[in-house]
Amino acid sequence: MSNARSIIVKRAVQEIKDGMNVNLGIGIPTLIANEIPSEFNVLLQSENGLLGIGPYPIEGNEDPDLINAGKETVTALKGSSFFDSAESFAMIRGGHIDLAILGGMEVSEQGDLANWMIPGKMVKGMGGAMDLVNGAKRVIVIMEHVNKNRESKVKKDCSLPLTGKQVVHRLITDLAVFDFTPEGMVLIETQDGIMVEEVIKNTEASFTVSRELVAK
């Protein structure tokens, strides 16, 4: 894991509480499965039909029949269950997922999310993200703050096709944590060693700084 991803995953796992049903999107979110405290009773759901995902398997012990939505081999915890995609999406659309943690390519200051179309690459489809952003009780997006060209991924308006409009509750990057409120986008935390000025410099979107953060 890169340092940026490690920072993001370490902060994101704090959003998971004991007793939650959680869906982890493909990409960086799948790394969170290995970091959930062992004493927590958390059920990880995958839209391809598995409830009770465990940590990644030890090399050599992979089961090719056990995969997550990103086609990575996973483990299944004792008591886990398997079902078809129709039942999986019924769980999501029925509001039974407490928290969805999704990767993002762009997030706008309105809380819009673009996370399924990769510029310049063939894409098979948007997967389950469009259902998750509308069906999960809470949606958190995690992503690196800037792209490979050092351009902000936290934008005034998304330039990529949208997954959902005004669907993000919280955004966690390697620089900061933002909440989306009726009053707009609010910076509530900076990552260790990061100053507010650095966040402003690397963010295209407009945002306010929480009073609690100013007080620090």
Q: How far apart are CA 118 and CA 20, in angstroms?
A: 31
pLDDT of 127 reads 73
Is 212 labeled as catalytic in the residue annotation? no
Mean pLDDT by 10 residues, the chain (216 residues): 90 97 92 92 93 92 90 92 94 96 97 87 76 97 96 97 96 98 96 95 97 70
Domain span at 31: 3-215
Choice among 47, 106, 144, 189 that is catalytic = 47
What pLDDT sits at residue 185? 98
Strand 184-190 relative to strand 208-209: parallel, antiparallel, unpaired?
parallel
Domains identified in the chain, total number: 1
Q: What's the pLDDT at 38?
A: 87
The reported pLDDT for the residue numbered 214 is 64
What pLDDT shows up at residue 150?
95
Predicted confidence at residue 28, as pLDDT, reads: 92
The amino acid that residue 161 corresponds to is P
CATH number (domain holding residue 95) = 3.40.1080.10
Which of 48, 57, 216 has the alpha carbon at shortest distance from 131?
48
The Cβ of residue 104 has, within 10 Å, a number of other Cβ atoms equal to 28
